[in-house]
């Protein structure tokens, strides 16, 4: 049923059906009516041909609206000038062609269609003078004028809609470009962090290797401890490299800074408090050492979430909850601010894009969005596996973990 309706809505099929309808009405009219032979020429085969001429060209009205109107109007005028009684189906068909030309034709077609209709009506009125009442002529003129005007209005509406669609596509392309730029910038930032992490690990390895070489004969126990430290630093650096493999480091346009971690989380909370946002920091479970990249990413997630609250939540308070377990760290940052009611910001959403990038690198889970009780929530789960076995790689991510940016059932995911 739906497929049949879609076929009926197609312009070509609709024009065919319209032409056949007008032709059928015209032919039935000529068969059932009684003509006053004293005033009009009797209906004959020529009239049948003219009825078809005044209706069937509508089949091509969508492709060539002005020529179709000219042929249909010519058929109507031929019927009147040859003395046949009027067949209203031809007038209706001409009106339909006039509407299509005004609504869907080119700019020249709009003006030309009005001229063709006006000239056709004048010739028709002159040719049938004395046979048609002036009131009927006035009604026909008004009807054609309204038809043409309606077609022009439809044409203007379609033009406005097309411009609006074009603007929407441009805005969508711009948003996509901005999002791609934000992701690229965030990847450059992560690559720089990888440089710092690996550089630090290599320095540790070099120092411990030198110490182990000097102590290998005199103090083998200390040398063994140094070798164990080298192994741990190497595993940590390897995990960082495997996680961020494929991220290209951008131009070295700024000095590398010492990166923060969860050890500086208290300082971050204090800074946010001084900025005017009350923050309550809660820690559940026993904190443990993390690989450098994971430690930094967890810190950045909290930092970006609090920054998002400062920018968008208005007058609000926030709570940061760090939940440690055997194989994962859960981070939750909630506030009681405006949530979904916050006005959009130009260029906004890059902080949450960065959070998604970080969570994706560690095969974690992320849920962001307004809370039902008011405010906004950022929740992330970062798996770190068995610490003794070294840093987990993306290939070791949990099987039930969704792609970053997704949310558990019932949680709305959005970006501000």
Task: Give the CATH number, domain containing residue 222.
Answer: 1.20.5
One domain for residues 34 and 122? yes
Alpha-carbon torsion, ordered 36, 38, 42, 47, to 10 deg: -90
Count up the domains in the chain and report the number.
3
The answer to whether the beta carbons of residues 267 and 304 sit under 8 Å apart is no
Q: Are residues 390 and 333 in the same domain?
A: yes
| DSSP assignments along 222-272, one per residue | HHHHHHHHHHHHHHHHHHHHHHTTTPPP----S-------GGGHHHHHHHH
Backbone angles phi, psi at 223, to 5 degrees: -65, -40
Whether 152 is covered by a domain: the verdict is no
Predicted TM-score (pTM) of the model is: 0.44
Q: Output the domain CATH number for residue 344.
A: 3.30.565.10
CA dihedral 239, 242, 246, 248 (to 10 degrees): 30
What pLDDT, in 10s, does the model give residues 275-314? Answer: 677 889 999 999 988 887 788 889 889 988 888 887 777 6
Q: In this structure, is residue 147 part of a structural domain?
A: no
From CA 52, how far away is CA 75, in angstroms rounded?
A: 8
Could you tell me the residue range of the domain that residue 201 belongs to? 179-243
Residues 6+ apart with CB under 8 A from 314: 337, 338, 342
Do 69 and 125 fall into the same domain? Answer: yes
- Give pLDDT tens digits for 384-396: 864 433 333 333 3
Q: Give the 3-state secondary structure of residue 380.
A: strand
DSSP code at position 389: G
The length of the chain is 416
Residue 318's H or E segment, with its range, is strand 318-324
Q: Percent of the chain scored above 70 by pLDDT?
A: 76
Place of tokens 């979904």: 340
- Residues β-bridged to residue 333: 320, 378
Q: Domain check: are 235 and 266 in the same one?
A: no
**pLDDT per residue over 134-177, tens digit each?**
787 888 888 889 999 998 899 899 888 888 887 787 778 778 87
Note whether 51 and 76 are within 8 A (CB): no
């Amino acid at each position: 049923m739906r497929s049949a309706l879609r076929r009926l809505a197609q312009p070509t099929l609709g024009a065919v059906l319209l032409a056949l309808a007008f032709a059928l009405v015209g032919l039935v009219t000529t068969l059932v009516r009684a003509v006053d032979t004293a005033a009009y020429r009797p209906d004959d085969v020529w009239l049948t041909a003219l009825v078809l001429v005044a209706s069937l060209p509508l089949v091509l009205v969508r492709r060539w609206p002005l020529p179709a109107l000219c042929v249909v109007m010519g058929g109507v005028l031929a019927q009147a000038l040859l003395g046949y009684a009027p067949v209203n189906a031809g007038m209706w068909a001409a009106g339909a062609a006039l509407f299509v030309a005004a609504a869907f034709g080119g700019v020249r077609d709009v003006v030309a269609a009005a001229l063709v209709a006006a000239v056709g009506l004048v010739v028709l009125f002159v040719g049938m003078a004395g046979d048609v009442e002036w009131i009927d002529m006035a009604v026909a003129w008004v009807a054609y004028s309204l038809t043409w005007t309606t077609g022009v209005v439809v044409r203007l509406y379609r033009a406005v809609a097309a411009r609006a669609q074009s603007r929407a596509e441009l805005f969508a392309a711009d948003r996509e470009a901005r999002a791609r730029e934000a992701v690229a910038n965030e990847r450059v930032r992560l690559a720089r962090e990888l440089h710092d992490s690996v550089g630090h690990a290599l320095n540790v390895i070099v120092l411990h290797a030198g110490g182990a070489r000097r102590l290998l004969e005199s103090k083998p126990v200390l040398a063994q401890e140094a070798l164990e430290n080298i192994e741990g630093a190497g595993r940590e650096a390897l995990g960082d490299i495997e996680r961020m493999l494929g991220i290209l480091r951008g131009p070295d346009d700024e000095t590398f800074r010492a990166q923060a971690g969860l050890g500086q989380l208290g300082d971050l909370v204090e800074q946010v408090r001084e900025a005017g946002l009350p923050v309550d920091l809660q820690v559940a479970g026993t904190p443990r050492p993390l690989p450098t990249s994971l430690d930094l990413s967890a810190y950045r997630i909290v930092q970006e979430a609090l920054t998002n609250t400062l920018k968008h939540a208005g007058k609000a308070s926030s709570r940061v909850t760090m939940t440690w377990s055997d194989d994962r760290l859960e981070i939750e940052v909630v506030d009681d601010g405006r949530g979904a009611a916050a006005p959009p910001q130009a260029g906004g959403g890059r902080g949450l894009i960065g959070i998604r990038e970080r969570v994706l690198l560690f095969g974690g889970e992320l849920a962001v969005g307004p809370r039902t009780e008011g405010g906004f929530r950022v929740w992330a789960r970062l798996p770190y596996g068995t610490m003794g076995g070294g840093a987990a790689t993306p290939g070791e991510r949990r099987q039930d973990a969704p792609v970053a940016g997704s949310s558990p059932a019932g949680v709305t995911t959005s970006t501000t």
